Structures are given as structure tokens and as C-alpha cells.
Chain A
């Protein structure tokens, strides 16, 4: 089976940098994805890592270490609008299903 672990909540100050970690256990690995979800909104895709290393998209970066079964999402220059829940997700085996972590609620304070 698949399982993913994330911190339940992170608090940071506007303008700061925050890292949200995700560790996973999978029977077959096809990449780690990150999704953002604002309260009352739909999850939106942020990034995807299939290979080790850092992927950067604007203020957001995502990192993967397959040997450690570990990844993180890095948010820089935090803005109030970044307050949301962030989910890591892996694909289950050779199917197209995504398994989501429990989510990390990020609170950005002024």
C-alpha cells in the first residue's frame, strides 16, 4: 500500500520562507506531486518531481530524494494568500490513481 506523512500545521511570517516535508511509502514510485487548496476551494496542482533534485516554479520549489522516500515543498517570500492547505501525493503503482497525504495547513501571519 501507499502512505504519506506530512506535518499537520505550519505557521510562518509574511515574507519568510517555509518548508513543508513529506515522507512516503509506496510499492512503486511514479513521482511526487504537490497540491494547494484554499478553504472552500478545489485542490490545484503546484508541482511534480519524478527525479531527484529541485524543481523551481516562481516562488515555489519542490524537492525529491527517492533514496530517502522524502520530498518537500519550499515556499519563498510568503504572502498572506499562501495561507492554505498543501497536500503531497503519489501515484499508486501502475494505475492512474493519486494517493494524497493528510495535508499541511499553512498559516501566514503579518
Chain B
């Protein structure tokens, strides 16, 4: 299994500002995933981040709004840019359980609870 930490755990931000969320894994993984989960809702995949290449964004999510960095095999950041109240959500990072290379088991970080006022 992988142990994942996220910073910050929560934040309250003003609209129009940006927040960068950090995700740290205790082992090297090929793929990292960023999800958004609104209260009482399911998880929606924002993007897949591979080390050494551009992140792959899902429909409805764009790089200008959610830029992602993946500088090495244990770390990634997600920035929520030019925030609006609609961005208030929980943001989760995850990694694959099968040595980080594909599979159906993912490990999740504790999440970052973002409130935009």
C-alpha cells in the first residue's frame, strides 16, 4: 500500500485567487490522479499526471484552470486558479495500488477541503 499526504488539509480562499495543493507519496509511482468531490457527491476525475509528461485532463477540466505539476515520481501539485465559489469542493489525489502501474485499486490522500468565498 501507499501512504499519501496532502497539504493543505483545508483552506478558505477569496474568489479570484489561486491555491496550490500538494500531494506527496511515500513510494515512487508512475501515475497520480487528481479528483474533485463536491459534498455528498461522487468522485470526478480532473486529470491524470505522469512524471515527465503533460497531465491528461478529463472533459470539462482545462489546464489554464487546473495546472498540474509532476516533477518526480513521489510528488505532484494541483493549482486551482482564479477561484470562484463553484470551486468549493474536496480535492483528492490518488495513486494506483499495483506498484503504481495500472489496476483497479487506488490509494487516496486525505483530501483538501476548499471553500471559496
Contacts and interface: CB of A to CB of B under 8 A. Distances in A.
Interface residues of A, number: 23
Interface stretch (A14-22, A69-77, A100-108): A100-108
Interface of A: 30-33, 41-45, 48, 50, 87, 89, 91, 95-103
B106 interface: yes
Contacts of A87: 42-43
A15 to B, nearest CB: 27
Contact of A45 (B42, B102, B105): B105
Nearest to B108: A42
Contacts, number: 50
Q: How large is the interface on B (under 10, 10 to 19, 20 to 34, 35 or more residues)?
A: 20 to 34
Given A91-B104, A96-B102, 4 more contacts: A33-B104, A43-B43, A45-B97, A102-B41
Contact of B110 (A41, A48, A97, A98): A41
Given A96-B31, A96-B96, A96-B102, A43 B45 contact: no
